[in-house]
Each structure stands twice: as C-alpha cells, then as structure tokens.
C-alpha cells in the first residue's frame, strides 16, 4: 500500500537572499516510520520539482491510501491549500492529510474549510503510522490518537499522542530524494546537508514555537545514533552537516561523547549547529579547541537583544552582557570557530536605545572579526502558539482571521511597519538595517563592486540618521 507526501514551496521570510533548500526532514521522518512497517512512500518536494503536479498524477494508483501535505505559515500554507484543492477537485475519494505547525495549531480551520480530511497534530511518525493502518483496515478514526478529522460537518479532535523515543526512529530514507538538490553552501563547504539530533528545549523563550510543539520537553538521540546519522549523510555525498537542533549543547556529556566518537572513528566532517552564549561562556579554550578538532567549524547563537528589560521579559536564560559577548567572540575566533549571531528586534516594550545598542554591538563584532562572521538581524514576526504572540495581541497586533490571511502571513507581517507599537521612523530604520546585514555583513558578500560599496555607505548612513546610532548613551547595568 502506498502513501504520497508533499512539501509545498515557500518564500523564506527572514532572508531575501536565502537560496538554499534544506532536506524536508518532517517528510523523511514520517516516511521512515511508514517504510519500516511495510508501506510504500513517495515524496514530492515542490521547491525542487517544477513538474510536481505531473509527478503527483503519475504516482496515484489503486494502492494509494492517502496524500499528505506538510506546511508552515505564510506562502507554504497558501501553496499547500492550492495543491490540496487541486487533489480534491480531481480525486475526491482520496483522503488528504495535513501536518505541520499550522495544521497542529488550527486543525478546525483546515477541516471546516474542506482543505483537509485529517490532521496529524504535532509529532508525526507514530500518528501517521496509526492513521495509515486505520485507513488501510477501514477502522474507526476515533481510535487513532494524535489526529483531528472531519466526519460530515463535524470535527473531532482525538486525544494527544505521547512523544516517541526518537532513538527508535529508523534511518531516514534519503534515497527517496535527489539528494544533490539539497546540498547547501556554508562557510567552508558546498555540500552541506542538515539533520536533527534532538527535539525540544526546556527554556521558555517567549517567541519560540517549541513551548507549544514539544511542551518544553527535551529528547535527544544517543551519541551512537548521531554518529550513524552523520555517516549516512556522508554516504549520500555530504562533507558538512548542519545540526538544526533547538539546543544541541543542552546535554554536555552527549556532546563530549559525540566528539570522542568522531575522533575515534576518524570521521572527516564539518559541523555547524546552535549554542547558547551562556553555554559557550562556560567552555574553556581547551574545550573549544576540542570542538574544532571534532569538526565544529561554526556555532550559531541566538543573542536576540542585549537589552536587560527585553531579556528578563522574553528570554531570561539567554541574556549576556556586552563584555561577555565580546569575550566569547574573541575565544571563538582564537579556536578558529566562526560565529553566527542572530538578533531579534521589534518586540513590545522595547525602546530605541535598546535597538541602537544592538546595532552598535553588531558593528563592533563585525569589526573585531574583520568581517568573517555572519549576522542575522530579524524583525519580530509573532508565531501563533507562543507567549510572544499573546503579548503582541495584547499590544494591538491584529492576527489573521482566515486561511487567506494566514497564507499571506509573512508577506504582510515581514516588516517592522506591521508592528503597531513601533514608531514609523524606527520601523523603517530596522528594515534598512536588516537589509544592510543581509547584503553587507556576511562573508559571502565581501567582494563588493565600487557601486555596492557606495550603496553600503549610503545605507549605513541612513540607518545612523534614522535611528541616531551615532548618539549612543552609556549602557545601563542589568542588575538582578
């Protein structure tokens, strides 16, 4: 019996210059569970397949049980709805199943709108398998935990499914894809592939979806399974791995074991992943060298903001002062690990002094590292299901009211002017500085023409004039 899984294309909301396409990991995870239980699976990724509808039509056969669509917010949701309507118009008897963040948050919107017949909520592997077995045997869907479904005009939300042991997930079936289409260029490689080695995070950053999606519960793969996953990506041609965990360094012993096994097995790989500044601050120079010897070439850190007020309110575990940040940056450069810093601006309750200080530290870091590190300067887009989303609504944020508005979510809200608590002048300044970071503060953009160098200077001057970044007041100490 057969299942088709579809990953709609989407516009990347945080970086207009983003050109890479990562592996569709949610579909691979579900596929692994189904294949391991004897079902046949096909994957269609609209991002890399121009003739995806022709491919879909060619795959539909008498053994097809259901067609699945996984989508986030914004344009991916819009494209998923378009594909879903195409399927339903031509094959009304085939169940259309949705999964992903939006479907998990708003199952009734998709079901009542006749976009989906069934929703797989949150984690998909076990739930999709249970659903497939129920549909194959024509069993009652009311007995499948973790789904929502429509029967006639009524929607039913079954009870939540317990989280799985991710060490029991079978190896991901990369052979279902043309893997070379997912090679990404990073700091030191053109053949980077991504993987996930843990799920969830216990820290409660107010803007993060993990608090809803994984209930702030952290689960991780064993070091042996991580090594097996790295070797599998190497088998498919990767020479670099991006580990896309929410908090890779949470379990320090696991990290130590992974490094030791890489050394023992003489695995040649380049690794980039996420880390919190406080975790790096606790690492000795010797430990950083050990990471570098194991292949860690880049560490990605969500600074968000150096503002004491913002940190205590929205991400208390992450806060670190300017002196500590500059010290950590220096140690990383000494260890030959390239840092990537992610900042978040536009949160309610902030002030322009906070913004100016964040811009100042970005420029200081860029100067200290001679332009060798990466910066992501993001403007807040409230994500439903988070505490930040509720906070923004309390400050006048108008949430989308229907599927059409949710499908345009990132195109409407991917600008600071949509945040009603910001002055218009401030919002324009933030957007200009985001463009400045994207175009001029990343190593890949260092070879600039004379015209672009002139534009960089003009853009930087505009940011200074609009946000008065040349008139910084002394920073206040956070205190306790």
Contacts of 178 (CB under 8 A, 6+ apart): 48
**How is residue 281 annotated by DSSP?**
H
For residue range 241-285, what is the model confidence (pLDDT) as tens digits?
999 999 999 999 999 999 999 999 999 999 999 999 889 989 999
For residue 12, is pLDDT > 70?
A: no
Task: Compute how many other C-beta atoms are within 10 angstroms of the C-beta atom of residue 453.
Answer: 11
Name the region of 215 (left: φ>0; alpha: ψ -120 to 50; beta: rest): left
Q: How confident is the model at residue 8 (pLDDT cuts 50, 70, 90)?
A: very high
Q: Are 3 and 132 in contact (CB under 8 A)?
A: yes
Q: What is the predicted pLDDT for the residue at 15?
A: 45
**φ, ψ at 102 (rounded to 5°):** -60, -45
For residue range 193-212, what is the model confidence (pLDDT) as tens digits?
999 999 999 998 999 988 88
Q: Which two tokens stand for residue 136?
A: 């194959």
Q: What is the predicted pLDDT for the residue at 415?
A: 83
For residue range 425-445, what is the model confidence (pLDDT) as tens digits?
899 999 999 998 888 887 665
Task: Compute how many other C-beta atoms are within 10 angstroms of the C-beta atom of residue 61.
Answer: 10
Average pLDDT, the chain: 91
DSSP labels, 291-334? HHHHTEEEEEEEEE---HHHHHHH-TTT---HHHHHHHHHHHHH
**φ, ψ at 3 (rounded to 5°):** -130, 140
Closest by alpha carbon to 29, among 221, 296, 223? 221
CA end-to-end distance (rounded Å), the chain: 60
Q: Are 95 and 150 in contact (CB under 8 A)?
A: no
Q: How far is CA 39 from the centre of its chain?
A: 29
Rg over CA atoms, the chain: 23
Percent of the chain residues past pLDDT 90, beyond the cut: 72
pTM for this model (two decimals) = 0.93
DSSP labels, 11-75? --TT-TT-------HHHHHHHHHHHHTT-EEEEEETTT-TTHHHHHHHH--TTEEEEEEE--STH
Q: What is the predicted pLDDT for the residue at 447?
A: 65
**3-state SS assignment for residue 460:** helix
For residue range 279-317, what is the model confidence (pLDDT) as tens digits?
998 999 999 999 999 999 999 999 999 888 888 889 988
Q: How confident is the model at residue 16 (pLDDT cuts 50, 70, 90)?
A: very low
The rounded distance, in Å, linking the Cα atoms of 201 and 180 is 31
Q: Which two tokens stand for residue 186?
A: 């990073």
Percent of the chain residues past pLDDT 70, beyond the cut: 94
128, HSE (Cβ side, Cα atoms, 13 Å) = 33
* Domain-wise residue ranges, the chain: 2-157, 169-467
Q: What is the predicted pLDDT for the residue at 170?
A: 96
**CATH for 2-157, among 3.40.50.280, 3.20.20.100, 3.55.10.10, 1.25.40.10?**
3.40.50.280
Q: How confident is the model at residue 222 (pLDDT cuts 50, 70, 90)?
A: very high
Domain at 169-467, CATH homologous superfamily: tm_1862 like domain (3.80.30.20)
């Amino acid at each position: 019996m057969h299942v088709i899984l579809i990953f709609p294309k989407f516009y990347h909301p945080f970086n207009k210059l983003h050109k890479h396409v990562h592996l569709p990991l949610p579909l691979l995870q579900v596929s692994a569970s189904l294949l391991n239980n004897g079902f046949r699976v096909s994957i269609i990724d609209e991002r890399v397949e121009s003739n995806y509808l022709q491919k879909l039509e060619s795959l539909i056969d008498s053994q097809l049980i259901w067609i699945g669509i996984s989508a986030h917010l914004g344009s991916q949701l819009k494209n998923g709805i378009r594909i879903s309507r195409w399927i339903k118009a031509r094959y009304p008897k085939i169940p259309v199943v949705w999964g992903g963040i939006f479907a998990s948050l708003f199952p009734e919107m998709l079901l009542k709108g006749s976009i989906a017949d069934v929703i797989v909520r949150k984690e998909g592997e076990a739930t999709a398998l249970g659903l497939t077995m129920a549909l194959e045997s024509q069993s009652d869907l009311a007995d499948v935990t973790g789904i929502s479904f429509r029967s006639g005009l009524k929607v039913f939300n079954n009870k939540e499914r317990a989280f799985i042991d991710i060490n029991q997930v079978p190896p991901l079936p990369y052979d279902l894809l043309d893997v070379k289409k997912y090679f990404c260029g990073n700091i030191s490689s053109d053949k980077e592939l991504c993987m996930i080695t843990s799920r969830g995070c216990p820290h409660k950053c107010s803007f993060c979806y993990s608090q809803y999606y994984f209930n702030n519960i952290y689960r991780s793969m064993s070091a042996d399974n991580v090594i097996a996953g790295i070797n599998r990506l190497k088998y498919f041609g990767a020479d670099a791995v991006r580990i896309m965990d929410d908090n890779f360094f949470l379990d320090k012993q696991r990290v130590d074991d992974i490094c030791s096994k890489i050394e023992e097995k003489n695995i040649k790989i380049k690794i980039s992943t996420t880390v919190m500044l406080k975790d790096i601050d606790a690492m000795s120079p010797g430990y950083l060298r050990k990471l570098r010897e194991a292949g860690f070439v880049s560490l990605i850190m969500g600074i968000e903001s150096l503002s004491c007020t913002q940190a205590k309110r929205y991400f208390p575990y992450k806060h670190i002062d300017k002196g500590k940040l500059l010290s950590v940056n220096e140690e990383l450069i000494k260890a030959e690990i390239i840092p990537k810093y992610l900042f978040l601006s536009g949160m309610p309750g902030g002030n322009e002094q906070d913004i100016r200080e964040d811009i100042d530290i970005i420029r200081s870091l860029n100067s200290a590292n001679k332009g060798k590190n990466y910066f992501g300067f993001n403007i807040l887009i409230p994500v439903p299901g988070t505490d930040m989303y509720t906070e923004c609504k309390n400050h006048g944020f108008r949430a989308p009211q229907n599927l059409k508005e949710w499908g345009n979510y990132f195109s409407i809200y991917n600008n600071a002017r949509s945040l009603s608590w910001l002055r218009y002048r401030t919002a324009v300044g933030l957007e200009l500085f985001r463009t400045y970071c994207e175009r001029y503060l990343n190593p890949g953009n260092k070879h600039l023409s004379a015209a672009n160098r002139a534009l960089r200077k003009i853009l930087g001057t505009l940011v200074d004039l609009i946000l008065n970044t040349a008139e910084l007041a002394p920073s206040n100490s956070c205190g306790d």
